[in-house]
Amino acid sequence: MVDKVKAGLSGLSYTRVADLSDAEEVLRAVTEYPGTKVSAVVTGHEHPMFSATVLRSVFGLPGDTDLARCLRFRDKRIQKRAVAPGIPAARCVYLKPSAPDYAELAEHLGAALVVKPADGFGSQATELVSSQEELDAYLRRHPTQSEVRTVAETFVEGHEIHVDGVWWNDRPEWAAVSSYLDPLMGWTSGKAVADAPLGPAESELSRRAVRFASDVLRALDAPDTVFHLEAFVRPDGELILGEVGGRPAGALTPEVLGMTHGVDLYGATVDVALGRVPELPTPGREPAELFGWIYLVRDPGALLSEESFRQRFDLVEVDYPAPEHDRAGIYGRCGHAIVKAPTHEELVHQLRAIAEFNRGV
């Protein structure tokens, strides 16, 4: 089931629906093929998670069928309410679409608000709002009639990290910690979207982050799942929950974690969907090299080609098509690059240099 047709679907059988999060539509599409044996349902995307849970329930498939629990991993307001008060997290409320009062929100949440879809993904429609005028402008760009469609949250200052792993039998069977080059929300103001796993030099932060993720997942009564948790490290070192999803990370994070740690999170996702124990690397093995990724964008002021990047940097992989073949995607992505380094610090330095070159800085 897909909601858009991509090149990778060539030669495969598929059914297109308008909205993968619409469980009724997805279920109707599946029942179009009576007699088909369904062994499992799996998705690596945020939006179809509720639909996948419905399908498991209807067809008696392996995996979690608790619809209320699924919502705890989709709706940001429900999730933060479920972990409170034991887990540090931003204060979060639904934003009423009819004449919302910035002053009232600011009194409860702080002067800087993060406004975004309650069940969004990939920082889509996620913006920082600091006045009534900015709030009104946001709602004009993203209109809604629903009173549970949009949330406003306290802005959390800090460095954004994420924990990816496999949660099995109420514990992290395997987990690794990575750091975004800049908070993802900053891409709308020109910040680069890039990601680098932590290395041995950051082992203390990694241990703290995995413990934090375990506390969050237990608070949410997580089922067996591949998970992706985002958190902020405040200037004082405190970890604050961003959000957590019961699915593998997006972008190229599973790929670079595979290169770095030898883990197949896509394969683990399929294993969990089939109800079998995932095959995972031996815990504690230090990586020989760290791999990171960066999304490349098209800057009109920088006349770049794929060869420009190859000549300037030592790249493991690069994809940067000519402008006439642009396929701009999430975060303004027109291409990507993957690099490697022996330490997290050196990896971040390389990613930062590529970002500046990409922007013509």
Contacts of 174 by beta carbon, 8 Å cutoff, 6+ apart: 165, 166, 263, 280, 281, 283
Amino acid 340: pLDDT: 98
Q: How far is Cα 48 from Cα 137, in angstroms, rounded to an integer? A: 29
The reply to whether 100 and 62 lie within a common domain is no
Q: What pLDDT, in 10s, does the model give residues 183-241?
A: 888 877 778 999 999 999 999 999 999 999 999 999 999 999 999 999 999 999 999 99
The reply to whether 144 and 178 lie within a common domain is no
State yes or no: pLDDT of 71 exceeds 70: yes
Amino acid 332: pLDDT: 77
Pick from 106-110, 270-274, 302-306, 314-318: least confident = 302-306
State yes or no: pLDDT of 282 exceeds 90: no
State yes or no: pLDDT of 87 exceeds 80: yes
The reply to whether 259 and 198 lie within a common domain is yes
Domain assignment of residue 77, yes or no: no
Q: How far is Cα 156 from Cα 239, in angstroms, rounded to an integer? A: 10
State yes or no: pLDDT of 361 exceeds 70: no
The reply to whether 205 and 336 lie within a common domain is yes
Closest CA to 361 of 314, 308, 317, 301: 301
Q: How far is Cα 242 from Cα 89, in angstroms, rounded to an integer? A: 7
The reply to whether 279 and 339 lie within a common domain is yes
Domain assignment of residue 34, yes or no: yes
The reply to whether 118 and 195 lie within a common domain is no
The reply to whether 169 and 103 lie within a common domain is no
- Here the CATH number for the domain that contains residue 141 is 3.30.1490.20
Domain hosting residue 132, numbered range: 91-154
Domain edge (last residue) among 133, 154, 175: 154
Q: What pLDDT, in 10s, does the model give residues 157-171?
A: 999 999 999 999 999
What mean pLDDT is reported for the chain? 93
State yes or no: pLDDT of 120 exceeds 90: no
Average pLDDT rounded to a whole number, residues 91-106: 92
Domain assignment of residue 2, yes or no: no
Domain assignment of residue 268, yes or no: yes
Closest CA to 314 of 288, 262, 351, 361: 351
Average pLDDT rounded to a whole number, residues 236-251: 95
Report the run of H or E that residue 241 belongs to, with start and end: strand 239-245
What is the Cα 255 distance to its own chain's centre? 14
Domain assignment of residue 84, yes or no: no
Domain assignment of residue 166, yes or no: yes
Domain assignment of residue 354, yes or no: yes
Contacts of 54 by beta carbon, 8 Å cutoff, 6+ apart: 23, 26, 27, 67
- 96, 196, 207 from 136: Cα distances, Å: 12, 36, 42
Q: How many CA atoms lie within 13 A of 309 on its CB side?
A: 30
Domain assignment of residue 116, yes or no: yes
Provide the residue count of the chain: 361
Domain edge (last residue) among 71, 104, 122: 71
Domain edge (last residue) among 102, 129, 154: 154
Identify whether the C-beta of residue 153 lies closer than 8 Å to the C-beta of residue 208: no
- Sort residue 226 into left (φ over 0), alpha (ψ -120 to 50) or beta: beta
The reply to whether 331 and 188 lie within a common domain is yes
- Assign 360 a pLDDT band (cuts: 50, 70, 90): confident
Amino acid 34: pLDDT: 81
The reply to whether 257 and 352 lie within a common domain is yes
What is the Cα 23 distance to its own chain's centre? 21
Amino acid 331: pLDDT: 75
The rounded percent of the chain whose pLDDT value lies above 90 is 80
State yes or no: pLDDT of 283 exceeds 80: no
Q: What pLDDT, in 10s, does the model give residues 16-59?
A: 999 999 999 999 999 988 888 889 999 988 889 999 999 999 99
The reply to whether 266 and 327 lie within a common domain is yes
Hey, CA dihedral for 166, 172, 174, 175, is it positive or negative?
positive
Residue carrying structure tokens 């770049």: 304
Average pLDDT rounded to a whole number, residues 253-280: 96
Q: How many domains does the chain have?
A: 3
The reply to whether 29 and 120 lie within a common domain is no
The reply to whether 163 and 138 lie within a common domain is no
- Here the CATH number for the domain that contains residue 212 is 3.30.470.20
